[in-house]
Amino acid sequence: MCIKRNKEWEYFLGTKRSTLALPDYYANYFAYSFDRQKSQRASIGLRITGLFAYARYMSYNIYDAEQGSSLGALTDFQIIQSQGNVNPYLVDSDPMAENRKYVINIVPKTCDLSGLENCLVYDISINVLTVIVRYYLPLDGDETGNVPLPQIEAFDINSGENVKLPPLYSLRNTSRFAYRERMNRIFDVVIDDKLRFYKVAGSGQFNNADNAYLICAVKKAGNEVLILKIKPPSYPHDNKELETADVRYWSINEGNPNTSTPTGIPDKQFTKASDGFIYIVIGDKSISHRADEIGYNFMPWKVWFKKGVILYRNLITNPEYKGSLKNVPTLDLDDKGSIYTSDAKNFIGDYAPTGIKISKSDFMKNSGSMASPGFVVRK
């Protein structure tokens, strides 16, 4: 579906090298920000009218743009649809329904919320306010989930009358150096060839309230490959499974030192081995045929440099899921001992990715020390 770009929103596509803060490769992010001080209106509210995206997931988050910290969020299933419309993210609804309108209200705490639905509230001390709408795994890879981006209107919270929308404040003004600096220290945990995954503090990077992830720092030479093994969570194949699946979405992504994402693989593209695990090998294309022969999902190493990160992401985790990343404590980078003790496998076992770095020749000969029993169903 070809939809004209909306000038009210900044586009941050997961596949673009210019999108930072370790985005998911299969997610698209759209942001509107305004400087409340320059708008000269302390009483301004935003009314966002849109259509639910045709995507695995969508959400709204609001942020203090100067801090990159979340102030509130609404996940797709929490959004009340407009009268006569359908929320396609509910268990009993039609995910392909055409009447899928909603309205979001974003207002300061001083606002009377009577008569307003789907409210996100911000403190009047905020200087620059950011709204981000996210679409994960949009249908057919369409940037905006096969719907136009939402319309944004500004209104006076006292009179209710529409006012001129404040000029867009570009998030590209955010220091790119700051993102890189926040990630630099994770490379201090690389001490051997084992691939350990950790939960790290992620404040200040416009985090999604529904997102949890583990990160593994890697230093890799050209003649080396990375092998991973994980017991994967279940994900919904249709609306009936939305409440019973372990997670709404999961993925494996690579990350550059500047926090851009060169590539990733979403849950639906992985093939399980006969033991129920997923085996992954990361390297150059020369190993792809061998990987398929012996039951490995091949992932090309597209990180620009000899060091990068691997991210394991879970989105909307079922509270009953045994592999919930909430069970993993945050890595203390000032405690050298936590390199061993904070490894996610110590807390969620096989549900955490584990791995090792080996030579390409070892993989081609015998797959190293983490052999796959082969795929259940051939690709």
Domains of the chain, CATH where assigned: 10-173 (2.60.120), 176-366 (2.60.120)
pLDDT value of position 2: 41
pLDDT at site 220: 95
Torsion of CA 186, 189, 193, 194, to 10 degrees: -90
Highest mean pLDDT among 3-17, 162-176, 199-213, 287-301: 287-301
User: H helices of the chain, where?
Assistant: 36-39, 176-184, 288-293, 338-341, 345-348, 360-366
pLDDT(121) > 60: yes
* pLDDT over 80 (residue 280): yes
What tens digit of pLDDT does each residue of 310-341 get? 999 999 999 999 999 999 999 999 999 999 99
Amino acid at 9: W
Q: 38 or 132: whose pLDDT is higher?
A: 132
What residues does 195 pair with on adjacent strands?
Answer: 355
Q: What percent of the chain has pLDDT over 90?
A: 79
CB contact set of 329 (below 8 Å; sequence gap of 6+): 199, 342, 347
Do β-strands 10-13 and 27-35 pair in parallel, antiparallel, or remain unpaired?
antiparallel
Encode pLDDT of 175-227 as tens digits.
566 667 778 889 999 999 999 999 998 655 788 999 999 999 999 999 999 99
Enter the pTM of the model.
Answer: 0.94
Which of 80-89, 129-138, 203-212 is predicted least confidently?
203-212
Backbone angles phi, psi at 33, to 5 degrees: -130, 150
Q: For all residues of the chain together, what is the average pLDDT?
A: 92
| Residue 379: pLDDT band with limits 50, 70, 90 | very low
Is the pLDDT at 105 greater than 50? The verdict is yes
Is residue 300 pLDDT above 50, yes or no?
A: yes
What pLDDT is attached to residue 155? 94
Average pLDDT over residues 94-101: 97
Specify the pLDDT at position 4: 47
Most confident of 35-44, 65-74, 171-180, 288-297: 288-297
Q: Which residue shows structure tokens 């076992």? A: 349
Alpha-carbon distance values, 57 to 27, 29, 54, 267 (Å): 9, 12, 8, 13
Ranges 62-71, 175-184, 259-268: which has the least confidence: 175-184
Give the pLDDT score at 184.
Answer: 84
What gap in Å lies between CA 48 and CA 214, rounded to an integer? 33
* % of the chain residues with pLDDT over 70: 94
Interval 112-128 mean pLDDT: 92
Q: Distances in Å between the alpha carbon of 275 and those of 62, 172, 231?
A: 42, 46, 9
Q: Which residue intervals of 69-171 are DSSP H helices?
A: none
Across the range 72-101, mean pLDDT stands at 97
> Looking at residue 235, what is its pLDDT?
98
Type and span of the H or E element at 71: strand 69-75
- pLDDT computed for residue 204 by the predictor: 58
Q: What is the mean pLDDT of residues 288-316?
A: 95
Query: ∠ at Cα 335 (334, 337), nearest 5°?
Result: 155
User: From CA 147, how far away is CA 140, in angstroms rounded?
Assistant: 12
User: What is the four-CA torsion angle of 117, 120, 126, 129, rounded to 10 degrees?
Assistant: -100
φ and ψ at 340, to 5 degrees?
-95, -45
pLDDT computed for residue 12 by the predictor: 95
Contact 33, 129 (CB under 8 A): yes
Residues 151 and 50: their CA atoms lie apart, in Å, by 6
